[in-house]
Amino acid sequence: MQFTSDNAAAVHPAVWKAMMAADAPDAPYDGDALSRSLDAAFTALFGRECAVLWAATGTAANCLALASLVPPHGAVVCHREAHIEMDEAGAPGFFLHGAKLLLADGASAKVTPATLAAVIEAIRDDVHQVQPHAVSITQASEYGCVYRPAEVAAIAAVAKARGLGLHMDGARFANAVAHLGCSAAEAASGVDVLSFGFVKNGGMGAEAIVFFDVEAAKVIRYRRKRAGHLQSKGRFLAAQILAMLEDELWLDNARAANAAAAGIAAAAPERLLHPVEANEVFLTCTAAERAALRGAGFTFYDWGPDAARLVTSWDAKTGDIAALAKAIAAL
């Protein structure tokens, strides 16, 4: 029973079906009918005009999104535990040609208007210092916590007041929307460009970069090709994304994963290091306790010496969750 990563989960049958249906000759790259329909599909979902590009990975999606906001001599302000800082091998430095990440604090890997402002205000408007051009936030955060629409709006206000763009890393955007119970548009209000993740939520290898500034997407089409991310059989990426949007599959899958996480969390509320709002559970857990859980057949990551990270997926089995909850409660 694996709780190491939502990346280890299966591909949803509807995604498979859509991919197989896409296996007919069409224009290469993103000239096919499916790829060309993405703009309309996301425009309908968000209720405002979008331009949408697919990319195979969240790292590529994040970095291409940021490339629309930040010049090589600029900087992105993000949380010091943000994925772009911690887990992308320096990809922002590569895609942005050496631009910096400036690190802000905040509980549960969420920045606040105050922590952002503290970073921004410390920078003199002076050529000796790297100037921020964008803010990037993660929805849900690296600790599975969700920004409320009012929080996003307040962050957007700080960004706009200083002329900075706002990027949202939505690798788990679906889980955040599922938690909030609001619309996708409300969960991304004030955002300029969103990396909308599907791979962790039942897809195989396709994320959407959603540009609310339609002009910005034009330049990024060149950047995507230049980064080797314009797949020649792009119809298979578009098919995955469209299948996820169909009948709100993305929301259903996220709800299932969130429910599984909630089930685990309920077993040991006193162990929780962060509120469980999406599909990640961080538990205090000794080495002996972790060994006990592993002995019972559960796999997961250690999170430092005294904690464990458990991630649930769209296809979590009710029985597995119950078994895990029971095992945790019994520790």
Nearer to its own copies, 123 or 325 (CB): 123
Nearer to its own copies, 45 or 316 (CB): 316
Q: How far is CA 289 from the centre of its chain?
A: 30
Q: Assess contact for 47 and 249: CB atoms under 8 A.
A: no
Three-class SS of 201-241: HCCCCCEEEEECCHHHHHHHHHHHHHCCCCCCECHHHHHHH
* Minimum distance from residue 141 beta carbon to its own copies (Å): 18
Q: How far apart are CA 73 and CA 96, in angstroms?
A: 9
Nearer to its own copies, 23 or 49 (CB): 23
* Minimum distance from residue 275 beta carbon to its own copies (Å): 25
* Minimum distance from residue 312 beta carbon to its own copies (Å): 13
Phi, psi angle pair for 252, to nearest 5°? -60, -45
* Minimum distance from residue 274 beta carbon to its own copies (Å): 20
Q: How far apart are CA 301 and CA 51, in angstroms?
A: 37
Q: Assess contact for 157 and 114: CB atoms under 8 A.
A: no
Q: How far apart are CA 276 and CA 274, in angstroms?
A: 6
SS3 for 37? Answer: coil
β-pairing, 280-284 with 100-104? unpaired
Nearer to its own copies, 180 or 310 (CB): 310
Nearer to its own copies, 132 or 263 (CB): 132
Nearer to its own copies, 271 or 290 (CB): 290
* Minimum distance from residue 263 beta carbon to its own copies (Å): 19
- Give the interface with its own copies as residue ranges (CB under 8 A): 2, 4-5, 7-11, 16, 20, 23-29, 55-61, 63-64, 71-73, 75, 86-91, 93-100, 127-131, 199-200, 204-205, 219, 221-233, 236-237
* Minimum distance from residue 28 beta carbon to its own copies (Å): 4
DSSP state of 182: S
